[in-house]
């Protein structure tokens, strides 16, 4: 496991989106789309807009994937977050970073909060 560097965390705090590339069962990226990202306590988080039924959420937990930002690709594991305080902190991070932007109401909903994942570098 590789820790996120201070420089990477700083960039992730500034960028609006990253490209999310979850892997399918064959280790191939099957989706490539921008997604909101937040950091909290030197960790990096995503949420699935459709909750736990999102294809990328299910595939990411099972197979890992990559995110792309600042011209670089990073191999990651998606780790489901179930600690209520950690989820609450991530919700606040979304509010702080994306306040007033669409679709913030969806991203802080219970359905999305239940699909919070921590991105762990490989």
**CA–CA distances in Å: residue 61 to residues 29, 51, 97:** 13, 13, 25
Residue 119 token pair? 């991105």
| CATH level 3 topology of 6-99+115-121 | Pnp Oxidase; Chain A (2.30.110)
The pTM for the full model equals: 0.95
Q: What is the mean pLDDT of each run of 10 residues along the chain (122 residues)?
A: 94 97 95 94 97 96 97 97 98 98 97 98 95
Q: Look at residues 86, 95, 20 and name the one whose alpha carbon lies nearest to residue 57.
A: 20
Q: What is the pLDDT of residue 33?
A: 87
C-alpha torsion 108→87→119→11, nearest 10? 60
- As beta bridge partners, residue 118 has 45, 79
């Amino acid at each position: 496991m590789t820790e996120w560097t201070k420089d990477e965390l700083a960039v992730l705090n500034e960028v609006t989106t990253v490209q999310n590339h979850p892997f399918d069962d064959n280790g191939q990226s099957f989706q490539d789309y921008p997604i909101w990202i937040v950091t909290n306590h030197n960790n990096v988080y995503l949420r699935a807009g459709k909750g736990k039924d999102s294809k990328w959420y299910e595939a990411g937990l099972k197979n890992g994937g990559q995110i792309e930002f600042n011209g670089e690709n990073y191999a990651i594991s998606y780790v489901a977050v179930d600690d209520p305080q950690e989820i609450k902190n991530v919700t606040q991070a979304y509010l702080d970073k994306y306040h007033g932007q669409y679709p913030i109401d969806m991203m802080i909903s219970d359905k999305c909060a239940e699909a919070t994942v921590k991105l762990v570098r490989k």
